[in-house]
């Protein structure tokens, strides 16, 4: 087996580039989750990426809302291949720059990047300005209309912005705007019936989100991949995070008539279902 090359290919301040699981990745090493994962493991939440890729085949179309710097975008692009399509939305300006760099350096012509937030209605909002020269969680920055100092970003409805012939997967990681995103893409969902993969880590917003998904005829299931796995790309078994067993809290939602195997224990039967109550 060939030895994994962990060396840094580019370094400019906190920005590094390494060859990672799904291609070359530029990232900010001061990002405590995504950046540190890429630096130490050569992947970010590889279990989630593998799961999503397992849902896809070459030639299919994916819509990704909240692509960040493209850690999963690159995986999705490889899964759908040159004949497929990935449309990636990311409204955080500094993060969007790295997303575009990562798509370009890997020559993924099948990816279209959009510096837009997806919401329930068109308009504008503000993205808080982040000091990327200091450590932080750059994947947890949410839109905030009250932030007068923030950068103005465009908000659009998926139904207005997308004219696509098919959609296999709609992935939404929108920092509290998951329901707004789905509401703005309701016609797209009804027309194409994609698999929905939606972050749901805010209890105060969970019931409304689950209710909306169920009303569309979808069957939601909890999916909570751990950020760390020993068989990561760099084969680094050292655990670097401050808290133990950190996971992404998501739902994978099957459209009507799609059969789901081996996930019955994770099925969400009620809008009041909350993952902490079930997995104590």
Q: What is the torsion angle, in degrees rounded to the nearest 10, for the CA atoms of residue 74, residue 186, residue 168 and residue 41?
A: 30
**Other C-beta atoms lying within 10 Å of the C-beta of residue 263:** 13
Assigned CATH topology for domain 10-129+136-278: Rossmann fold (3.40.50)
Q: Could you report the per-residue pLDDT of 198-242, keeping only the tens digit for each?
A: 999 999 999 999 999 999 999 999 999 999 999 999 999 999 998
Q: Give burial (CB, 10 Å; 0-12/13-18/19+) of 2.
A: exposed
252, 220 contact by CB (below 8 A): yes
For the chain, the first-to-last Cα distance in angstroms comes to: 40
The pTM score is 0.95
172, 198 contact by CB (below 8 A): yes
Contacts of 257 (CB under 8 A, 6+ apart): none
Q: Each residue's pLDDT tens digit in the chain (280 positions)?
A: 455 678 899 999 999 999 999 999 999 999 999 999 999 999 999 999 999 999 999 999 999 999 999 999 999 999 999 999 999 999 999 999 999 999 999 999 999 999 999 999 999 999 999 999 999 999 999 998 777 888 999 999 999 999 999 999 999 999 999 999 999 999 999 999 999 999 999 999 999 999 999 999 999 999 999 999 999 999 999 999 988 889 999 999 999 989 888 899 999 999 999 998 877 6
Q: Give burial (CB, 10 Å; 0-12/13-18/19+) of 226.
A: middle
């Amino acid at each position: 087996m060939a030895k994994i090359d962990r060396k840094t290919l580019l370094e400019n301040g906190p920005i590094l580039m390494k060859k990672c699981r799904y291609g070359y990745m530029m990232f900010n090493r001061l990002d405590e989750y995504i950046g540190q994962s890429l630096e130490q493991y050569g992947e970010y939440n590889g279990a989630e990426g593998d799961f999503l890729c397992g849902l896809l085949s070459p030639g299919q179309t994916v819509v990704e809302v909240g692509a960040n710097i493209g850690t999963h975008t690159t995986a999705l692009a490889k899964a759908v291949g040159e004949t497929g399509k990935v449309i990636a939305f990311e409204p955080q300006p500094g993060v969007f720059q790295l997303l575009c760099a990562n798509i370009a350096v890997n020559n993924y012509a099948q990816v279209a990047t959009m510096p837009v937030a997806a919401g329930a209605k068109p308009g504008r909002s503000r993205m808080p300005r982040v000091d990327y020269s200091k450590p932080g969680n750059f994947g947890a920055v949410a839109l905030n209309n009250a932030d007068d100092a923030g950068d103005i970003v465009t908000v659009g409805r998926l139904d207005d912005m997308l004219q696509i012939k098919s959609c296999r997967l709609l992935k939404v990681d929108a920092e509290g705007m998951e329901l707004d995103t789905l509401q703005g893409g309701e016609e797209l969902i009804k027309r194409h019936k994609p698999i929905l993969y939606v972050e749901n880590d805010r209890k105060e917003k969970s019931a409304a989100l689950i209710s909306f998904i169920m009303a569309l005829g979808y069957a939601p299931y909890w999916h909570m991949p751990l950020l760390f796995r020993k068989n990561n790309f760099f084969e680094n078994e050292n655990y670097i995070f401050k808290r133990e067993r950190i996971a992404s809290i998501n739902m994978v939602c099957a459209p009507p008539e799609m059969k789901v195997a081996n996930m019955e224990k994770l099925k969400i039967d009620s809008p009041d279902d909350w993952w902490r109550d079930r997995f104590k």
